[in-house]
Amino acid sequence: MTFNVTKFVLMLIHPIICCEIKTFSRFSQWKKWSFWAVLMLFLSVGCRPLKKIQVNRTIKKSEVLSNHFTGFCLFDPSENTYLVQRNENLNFTPASNMKILTAYTCLEAFGDSIPAFAYTDYIDSLVIKPLGDPSFLHPVFKSQPAYDFFSGRKKILIQNNHGSLSEFGPGWAWDDFQYNFQAERSWFPIYGNTVRILNLNDTLQIVPNFFEDYVQIQFGTKPGNYVSRDVKYNLFNIWIENEHEDFEREIPFDYDEELLIQLLEDTLHLEVALLDSSDIQPEQILNNQAALDVISYMMQTSDNFLAEQLLIQAALHEGFADPDQFRAYKLQQWSSFNPNPIQWHDGSGLSRYNLITPLSLVSILNRIYQTESWQTIKSIFPAGGHSGTLANWYYSDPPFIFAKTGTLSNNHNLSGYLVTDSGKKLIFSLMNNNYVTSTSEVKQAMSELLFKIKKLY
């Protein structure tokens, strides 16, 4: 039996209403208004627990959501009030929900644009120090101020004294090296650290074309992937089942400094060398892309490479050559508003070592809400039924969900902002771990819950 708060309040005040209505004319005007104000207060207070009960009941009665580890936190920033909390203090594997932390870090760190490299300009050469910019020669970003800056130069000297950087993050799956979602990290990315192989209108195109001699075409039934690469060799095999078939594939290349120099020389048509001396300290900064453009693309498409490199950039910007130390520093900074400890191991969420609570995600989302405009938030977060990773889910016109997905096998999460039918903007984190049903079934159950909240509040 469910306790109905609204009915209980009405039961208490019913005798008062019946009694006082007969003598209502004896009341002064101010007493009448006071009476009805108290009545409406009772009713409004009674509705909030009732809505919470309905939301919790929806989760509990769902055959999908009740059959795995589910956490939920719903927050009203206008009233600074938690509306619904369920397993909100327990840790979940967040997957790409960790990109929310990366986005907030970058919004804090960067101004209008992101830094490409530091430099010192000499008559015969340009000394540059890479700053982790993932957008350099990345095909998504057509405008390339950093590339244009090299025009007319004869020689580039690269000074890299940041220290070592592992190509993969902790807890990443080593055998995912040939999939486009796990490109290698580096201090000086180029072309997104991937090769793009396209067959369009019977014309094969390799980008960058430096790799044309390293690609072998195979016709016939593919053995597995359309494109494959050995672990430590940049030799690519492509299978085309039909020689007139159009396709586009993207595959990471094995990155090292020797390859970087070759790619730069082949693309820029000038001499490139490494500078061992640390006597020269480049201090001028050249910016490349608009920061919001890169952050938005990273969040909308859930691009792991951009997320990793943006976090590396933010670390260098704050004076940290060690990303691990930088993440620890940021968590310490956030301790004043973050209620729970966070295990934060990478920028993308690929690591299974990451752990965070729904309450912590809501707290960080609230900080973004308090410091950024609503227009900026809508440009960064995918809109339900309209854009990015939410284009096929949570459709409403206008959209009511602006949130980041996070998916690994047996885990799917959604955290962000929800606009109710009454116009309220709420913040939520809905996390699902260790389910054995299909992800589409989990998404459908999540959709039913979020649409109910849209109507309730």
Please give the domain boundaries of the chain with CATH numbers for all domains.
50-107+297-456 (3.40.710.10), 115-289 (no CATH)
Give the tokens for residue 73. Answer: 């936190």
Report residue 62's pLDDT band, with 50, 70 and 90 as the boundaries: very high
Q: Is the peptide bond before 208 cis (omega within 30 degrees of 0)?
A: yes
Q: Across residues 244-263, what is the average pLDDT?
A: 91
Cβ-based neighbour number of residue 13 at 10 Å? 15
Distance (Å, whole) CA 276 – CA 23:
95
**Whose CA is closest to 115, among 92, 132, 101?**
132
- Residue 24 has a pLDDT of 42
pLDDT (average), residues 331-360: 97
The SS3 call for residue 154 is: coil
Read off the pLDDT of each residue in 424-431 and give the average, rounded to a whole number.
98
Q: What are 376-391's pLDDT values in tens digits?
A: 999 999 999 999 999 9
CA 146/CA 139 separation, integer angstroms: 14
Residue 38 has pLDDT above 50, yes or no: no
Helices in 351-408 by DSSP H: which ranges? 358-371, 374-380
Task: Provide the sign of the torsion angle of the four alpha carbons 59, 64, 68, 69, taken in this order.
Answer: negative
Residue 191 pLDDT > 90: yes
pLDDT at 171 over 70: yes
- Span 68-98, pLDDT tens digits: 999 999 999 999 999 999 999 999 999 999 9
The confidence band for 29, taking pLDDT boundaries of 50, 70 and 90, is low
Residue-wise pLDDT for 311-345, tens only, equals 999 999 999 999 999 999 999 999 999 999 999 99
Whole-prediction pTM: 0.88
In the prediction, which pLDDT does 42 show? 45
* Strands 81-86 and 113-121, sheet pairing: unpaired
The pLDDT score that the predictor gives to residue 25 is: 46
SS3 52: helix
- Taking 70 as the threshold, does the pLDDT of residue 216 lie above it? yes
Nearest to 136 by CA among 193, 76, 87, 180: 193
CA atoms 391, 394, 397, 399: torsion sign: negative
Can you list the alpha helix ranges (DSSP code H) found in 241-344? 257-268, 291-301, 304-317, 323-334
Beta-ladder partners of 156: 126, 272
Q: Is-contact 348 169, C-beta < 8 A? A: yes
* pLDDT for res 236: 92
pLDDT at residue 226 in the model: 74
Q: Which residue has the tokens 């003598």?
A: 23
Model confidence at 32, pLDDT cuts 50, 70, 90, reads low
| End-to-end alpha carbon distance in the chain | 24
Worst-scoring range by mean pLDDT, 19-33, 270-284, 354-368? Answer: 19-33
Quote the pLDDT of residue 34. Answer: 52
